[in-house]
Structure 1
């Protein structure tokens, strides 16, 4: 989908649809933008700035037709941690650095890597983030005073417990009114933005009956400016870049995941197909420019993108109109925003946290009682009790370990002949599963054990025990993949068999293993004429490699030709080696 493709066949009717959808999403985005900014430890207007600038640029430059960009709940614990540790100014620089990383990811076509993050990891950290957001709003819901924000969950819970005595009943009533609207209105009038209605009704209630008794945006953060801030280039030093690189990487990673997940949802709802790398570049540009105007990091917002599609959006223009709507509201209604109680906004984020918690998927995975359940729980707990970086890294490492073990368990070495019926001079084995670093040693050990035990198991015939077979035939038709470790172990087997005067034949080898062996030179060492498309052809070839003297007295009769070979050997009509 190129830029023109996103507007192909655009018409006046499509513009009307975009106008309606953009306005609706803009109205929905306003309370969320302020709430996410406050939860992230910055002033509410910064969330508005982000929605306006990043929202416009993501729709203009991104690779998804219906994507709506802006501040999101997923960023809340990350941004709050950066603000508490480094300050707001450094948050802006970290956001810009994240933008650069996102652009590089897009340029080097790394968008596809997001698909390799396992579901237990994404659900684990998403649910963990939801818990952090929800718990972070308890203080505003209750109207607690003299609260201090902390980076870790347990310290914040302890802080809440220490200040429960300062609960403000007026704040609780205001929050309950907002929460009641958020729960009830979607059931009756699902198309009306419940968050905005709940914010307005609870704010009016507080202004009329609880004036001066509840904390508001104005009393906590000061008046909300009615214009965008001036362009400001932050101070940048190498020391700052080094210091902020870890949080910038986390912001970029989470932003990439969130935006591409949102784009996938949009594809499913809108029947489109996004361009992941172009989307990453668009997100990156937006996150570089937005901090220059005071905005915080942004990404694709799944709920707002879904609302955009449901409202009839026809093109990316709806996202740009959504940004324009927020700008107009900021200019016209900014003075009224100062009167919004913080307790009116707390339920909005609590409902957002509840909706993003993936609770059904969480419970479903938990009930499977598998290794995925363990990864899910560990990622979730680490997200809540440590930080997102640790949670994702540990979750991914566990997922890799589990994957390697599962792949290892699928590999096997089995004999192609029944117990006691094989030929002492020909060992035929089937290899199954990927021959990679996690399974290569196991496969090699199994083959070597088979070489040692093969002859003694043949109907009690112990005369050939300890002798290496003339031919080791490996059927590799069920080996889809071979890596360097697998090749090295296979080379060791080839060397061992060759040093004992035997030969290795390979049948049914698949394209990737064959190509890899050709690259390493092992293909030539084995010999091109020792590779066969079918096992039957390899067996025919093997018959010509037998030591006929060893056929004398052999009772196995593994092949039809055995009696003939033994007779010939007894008369000395055939050379003993071929």
Structure 2
């Protein structure tokens, strides 16, 4: 295969193809129903996330429509539903506070280019390095932040005082409560409770009822009938804007590079996790993680061009899609078309929705993100996993999402390496068979498990502390993974023993370790190249010959 042919196959693997829709003739009815259902479910979420991000409800809708279509066509999952998500809102709010609303479209495009490049470089499998406790701690932290972000909508009428609040959700919630308008709070809390009650009761009454939409409809009607002080979304356009490229300057690009990298990392992590979970919910075919990144990158770029926000795969909407019968990309495309119809036909009524009602939707959504059984399982598991879960959640709420993931991975990795190093053992063995005179001066030392940097010093100390032997046989047939530090420790062991006059024999070097041992100098440290054995019997025979010669020399010198 020529390089041109390989390059063509490589590119084709990341682009849409006819097999994406091979099951459409069989599943199209279910896809239409699922798309309609997800579209209705997504409407309040798109509006709410748009408002909570500090941008606008319009931006949330644009993101759900544009990104929903583009990610469905170009992404690597047959059932993934993409759009604005709570995790992205958590990152965007500080960016809006620092750089202004106008920076969102540009940072969306920049992040999209980064995610697209990651997919083109085949980095989609990287998410597998994130441990499960870290993912759950990350999710818990996001849920807490989303919940806290709704407090201003219930106390001061939404975004009116947002500029005076901290970019940290916990601090902003405390500030909002301290400056609350207590004549406004009962109205806002009442509206949120009505929506939450509808969401909780809807599934008990009938699975087909979308509780969030019903609750918002009830609250909106009540606000029109009753003269209430509740802040509403406001006027929305009755169509999509024309795509435009945001103003690009060297200064704005440089200042937004850090936020863009954060958004890109978050978009990649959340989308790949969502796609992986979706593939386990039903038989919808495998997902391609690299192509998923390409699709999500294109979706964020498209969203930014239309004035929207960065997009990611949304696990809640994806799960609704699968459970409603969605099996191909048509379902996600239909969901976007449904949202577009809301914009074209019902933009007026949608603009009358109270912000407090959307806050109720997002508060219950945040609550449902926390799985109590999962939390109990992690907290009752190994202390290292529980610690990684707790630390990730705390850092997510207190500082930054990506920092939290990095700290969580490092935290879990340190404990994993520590536990792995505990599997390294040093055992002193007896010589098999009938003991001979002088065998007490031969030590057979077996090294088990992995020999890595975390256990290298301990192994060195345990072996070099051994006394009373003239010959030491290092048995390595049970040795597992060895890194450069472990090989260097073996070299130090051989050199230390030889300096003390102890002859070192090595038995059972596995072929997988031989090149490393030669490179580091372990084998070169032996007194003689014949001190390397594949058979234990040969090694013992050679050790006994050393003892015999040493005993003979001692006897001769005594006679003289």
Give the TM-score band, short-chain normalised.
Answer: 0.7 to 0.9
Structure showing greater radius of gyration is: 1
SS at match of 1:429: strand
Partners of 2:152 and 2:177 within 8 A in 1? no
Which residue number corresponds to residue 191 of structure 1? Answer: 208
Cα offset, 1:323, TM superposition: 1.4
State the TM-score, normalizing by the size of structure 2: 0.88
Residue 166 of structure 1 aligns to a residue whose secondary structure is coil
> Corresponding residue for 2:492?
492
Between the aligned partners of 1:270 and 1:90, the Cα distance in structure 2 is 39
Counterparts of 2:352 and 2:313, CA distance in 1: 29
Decide which of 421, 433, 439 is 1:423's aligned counterpart.
Answer: 439
Q: Which residue pairs with 1:479 in the alignment? A: 479
Q: Distance in 2 between matches of 1:81 and 1:110?
A: 28
Query: Cα deviation per residue 1:434-489 (whole Å; 9 max; x = unaligned)?
Result: 21111111211222112xx244xxxxxxxxxxxxx23x322223322111111222
- Does residue 72 of the first structure (1) align with residue 85 of the second (2)? yes
- Alignment CA distance shift 1:125-1:549 (3 Å): closer
Residue ranges of structure 2 left out of the alignment (5+ in a row): 1-12
Q: Among 310, 313, 323, which residue is 2:336 paired with? A: 323
CA contact (8 A) 1:69 1:301 kept: yes
1:262 is aligned to 274
The SS at the match of 2:102 is helix
User: 2 CA distance for matches of 1:267 and 1:252?
Assistant: 22
CA 1:6 to 1:267, structure 2 compared with 1: closer, same or farther past 3 Å? Answer: farther
Q: CA deviation at 1:334?
A: 1.0
For 1:322-471, what aligned pairs fall within 5 Å after superposition?
322-368=335-381, 370-417=383-430, 423-450=439-466, 453-455=467-469, 469-470=470-471
Shift of 1:66: 1.0
Distance 1:11 1:510, change over 3 A: same
1:47/1:153 Cα in 2 relative to 1: closer, same or farther (>3 Å)? Answer: closer
Equivalence for 2:9: none
Mapped contact 2:392–2:407 kept (Cα < 8 A): yes
Q: Counterpart in 2 of 1:123?
A: 136
Are the structure 2 counterparts of residues 544 and 236 from structure 1 closer, same or farther at C-alpha, using a change threshold of 3 Å?
farther
| Equivalent residue, structure 1, for 2:549 | 548
Alignment check: 8 A CA contact 1:126 1:356 kept: yes
1:163-312 matches, within 5 Å, as 163-168=179-184, 169-210=186-227, 212-218=228-234, 223-271=235-283, 272-312=285-325
C-alpha separation between the residues in 2 aligned to 1:512 and 1:243?
48
Task: Give the whole-Å Cα distance in 1 for the aligned partners of 2:459 and 2:213.
Answer: 63
Deviates more, 1:539-548 or 1:273-282: 539-548
Q: State the Cα distance separating 1:544 from its structure 2 match.
A: 3.9
Give the Å deviation of 1:303: 1.0
Give 1:561's aligned residue. none
Displacement of 1:217? 0.6
- Give the Cα separation in 1 of the matches to 2:455 and 2:29: 60
CA distance in 1: counterparts of 2:152 and 2:183, whole angstroms: 8
Give the conservation status (yes or no) of the 8 Å contact 1:141–1:347. Answer: no
What SS does the corresponding residue of 1:477 show, helix, strand or coil? coil
Q: Render the CA deviation track for 1:221-241: whole Å, top value 9, x for unaligned.
A: xx1111111211122233333
Contact conserved, 2:116 with 2:293, CA < 8 A, in 1? yes
Q: What is the CA deviation profile of residues 371-417 of structure 1, one whole-angstrom value per residue up to 9, with x for unaligned ones? A: 22222222222222222233223322222222222222222212113
Q: Which runs of 4+ in 1 moved over 6 A?
A: none
Alignment match of 2:152 (pick from 134, 139, 142): 139
Distance 1:445 1:239, change over 3 A: farther
Q: Is 1:101 paired with 2:118?
A: no
Do the aligned partners of 1:6 and 1:315 also contact (CA within 8 Å) in 2? no
Unaligned runs of 5+ residues in structure 1 are 456-468, 554-568, 571-578
Contact 1:125 1:388 in 2 (8 A): yes
C-alpha separation in 1, matches of 2:550 and 2:521: 34
| Aligned partner (choices 24, 46, 53) of residue 40 of structure 1 | 53
8 Å CA contact 1:27–1:193 kept in 2: the answer is yes
Q: Is the 8 A contact 2:155 2:177 kept in 1?
A: no
Residues of 1 paired with 2:503 and 2:41: CA distance? 73
Q: Verify the 8 A CA contact 2:131 2:409 in the aligned structure 1.
A: yes
Check conservation: 1:35, 1:345, Cα contact below 8 A.
yes
Cross-structure match for 2:3: none
- Indicate conservation of the 8 Å contact 1:132/1:384, yes or no: yes
- Note the C-alpha offset of 1:505: 3.2
Q: d(CA) in 2 for partners of 1:187 and 1:515?
A: 66
